[in-house]
Structure 1
Amino acid sequence: MFLRLLFILLMALNIAVGAWLLLGQPYAHNGNAVDPGVRELRLLSEMPQPVATVAAPSIAASVATAAPVSLPAPAAPVNTPPPRPAQPVPQICLALGPFATPQDLRNARQALGAQVARMRSRQEQITQPNGFWVYLPATSSHAQALELARQLGARNIKDYFVVSGGDQPNTVSLGLFKDPANARKRRDEVVAAGFPARLSERSETVPEYWLDLVANNSPRFEWRNRVRASGVNSHSTSCF
């Protein structure tokens, strides 16, 4: 009995809900809710979406029919002449000297250091006259040389010397002269006294100091304005 009553109640409830859903909404039967002549309001979500592909053909057509843009022609290259290579500055090669001492050579190097491209120092050995020697030839023994010297004194000939060593032992030296005229006069006096006097030129080996240099051949280079050593000259030499 209870179940039948519950079933009847549920059926009545379903009928009431269905009648309310069907008859309780006026939009389904009474038409529009606005006055005639007034546009109906719609939500943005209810508006139809625009078709984006409609304008694409027109855009493509406008691009296809657009006039081609003419680009400016590249400028013609200007024929500029290549730069000329720098002309080498002519150089001169000189040898300065002889310098009397190594210090004179060093002073010249310092004075010319900023004016030349290259320098080198060198030393040479030269033989130069060292006077004129008057003498009596060597005897066979030192005793004979001493006896010859006593004979010179007996003839009033002074200023002699008996050589006992070196490369010419047992000779009697009669003097060393710078002036050849004085040497000849001394020899003639001894010969006139009856002795076989002889005359020979003496020489010695001495060092000479030179400075070789390479400089630019320009009017501004003048070594004589800077080198103060006396007796120094120059001549051309091979470059190095």
Structure 2
Amino acid sequence: MFLRLLFVLLVALNIAVGAWLMLGQDDAHGRSVTDPGVPMLHLLSEQSAAPVAGRPPVASTAPAQAASAAVALETRCLAIGPFGTPQDLRTARGALAGPGVRMRSRQEQATETGAWWVYLPAPGTRAQALALARRLDAAHVGDYFVMSSGDQSNAISLGLFKDPANARKRRDEVAAAGFAAQIQERTEQVPEYWLDLVVADGARLDWRGRVRTAGVGSHSTSCF
């Protein structure tokens, strides 16, 4: 009786083990826990840990833009000048050198008035110019010169003056003697020297307290 009961128990145990091996191990036999064509579900924690396929992460440009704006607010750019000589420029550069200051020197050409010329326009021919000169002598108008070359050939020069007031006085004297004297402004090209500065706002540079050259000013300029 006991042996028969033991045999039945062993047969039942074998049947149970076989059923578990056949039905309880899906992965071992290549079966999926989902139906064909249905995507696998993932936890939210699993999805946040990995980037979306085919879409690279986008870096924010806000920090870079903020940094650029901060740099623009931290500096100011000035042009100081004009200096009349290179030595004046070098002296100013040495006086302004220091932490937080970047400098560059440059030279430009400027047009300035050199003198005022009083003259009688050329009458036409050389003979007419000489006849006009004899009339000046007769009217006791001296200190003149008949031009013989250049773009003012045959004009009669009555003087070259640095002071415009003196030029007007000479013109009026000759006009009172009966001659239509004129004044022409003479210009020339002269070099000017400038010092460009890029200054950090925190430096608080008082350039006027360091540069003693007369006639020098400043204006805003583009940074470099």
What TM-score, normalized by structure 2, do the two folds share? Answer: 0.61
Q: How does 1:171-182 map to 2 (within 5 A)?
A: 171-182=155-166
Question: Closer, same or farther in 2 for the Cα pair 1:116/1:151, shift >3 Å?
Answer: farther
Report the counterpart of residue 102 of structure 1 in structure 2: 86
Q: Pick which of 211-220 and 100-109 moved more.
A: 211-220
Please tell me whether the aligned partners of residues 133 and 176 of structure 1 are also in contact (alpha carbons under 8 angstroms): yes
User: Larger % of helix: which?
Assistant: 2
Q: Percent identity of the aligned residues?
A: 64
1:17-43 CA distance string (max 9 Å, x none): xxxxxxxxxxxxxxxxxxxxxxxxxxx
Secondary structure in structure 2 of the residue aligned to 1:238: coil
- Matched residues in 1 for 2:162 and 2:81: separation? 24
Q: How does 1:49-198 map to 2 (within 5 A)?
A: 90-198=74-182
Q: Pick which of 165-174 and 219-228 moved more.
A: 219-228
Report the counterpart of residue 203 of structure 1 in structure 2: 187
Amino acid at match of 1:170: N
1:173-204 CA distance string (max 9 Å, x none): 11123333332232222222222211222222
Shift of 1:115: 4.2
- Matched residues in 2 for 1:146 and 1:107: separation? 54
Question: Closer, same or farther in 2 for the Cα pair 1:111/1:145, shift >3 Å?
Answer: same
Amino acid at match of 1:158: G
- Matched residues in 1 for 2:151 and 2:104: separation? 38
Shift of 1:237: 1.0
Secondary structure in structure 1 of the residue aligned to 2:202: coil
Gap runs ≥5 in structure 1 = 1-84
Report the counterpart of residue 71 of structure 1 in structure 2: none
- Matched residues in 2 for 1:115 and 1:234: separation? 20
Please tell me whether the aligned partners of residues 145 and 156 of structure 2 are also in contact (alpha carbons under 8 angstroms): yes
Please tell me whether the aligned partners of residues 128 and 206 of structure 1 are also in contact (alpha carbons under 8 angstroms): yes
Secondary structure in structure 2 of the residue aligned to 1:123: strand
- Matched residues in 1 for 2:103 and 2:207: separation? 13
- Matched residues in 1 for 2:114 and 2:210: separation? 32
- Matched residues in 2 for 1:196 and 1:220: separation? 59
Please tell me whether the aligned partners of residues 99 and 203 of structure 2 are also in contact (alpha carbons under 8 angstroms): no
Report the counterpart of residue 216 of structure 1 in structure 2: 200
Please tell me whether the aligned partners of residues 115 and 215 of structure 1 are also in contact (alpha carbons under 8 angstroms): no
What TM-score, normalized by structure 1, do the two folds share? Answer: 0.57
Larger Rg: 1
Please tell me whether the aligned partners of residues 75 and 199 of structure 2 are also in contact (alpha carbons under 8 angstroms): yes
- Matched residues in 2 for 1:204 and 1:101: separation? 17
Aligned residues: 155
Report the counterpart of residue 233 of structure 1 in structure 2: 217
Please tell me whether the aligned partners of residues 117 and 183 of structure 2 are also in contact (alpha carbons under 8 angstroms): yes
Please tell me whether the aligned partners of residues 116 and 213 of structure 1 are also in contact (alpha carbons under 8 angstroms): no
Please tell me whether the aligned partners of residues 146 and 162 of structure 1 are also in contact (alpha carbons under 8 angstroms): yes
Gap runs ≥5 in structure 2 = 1-66
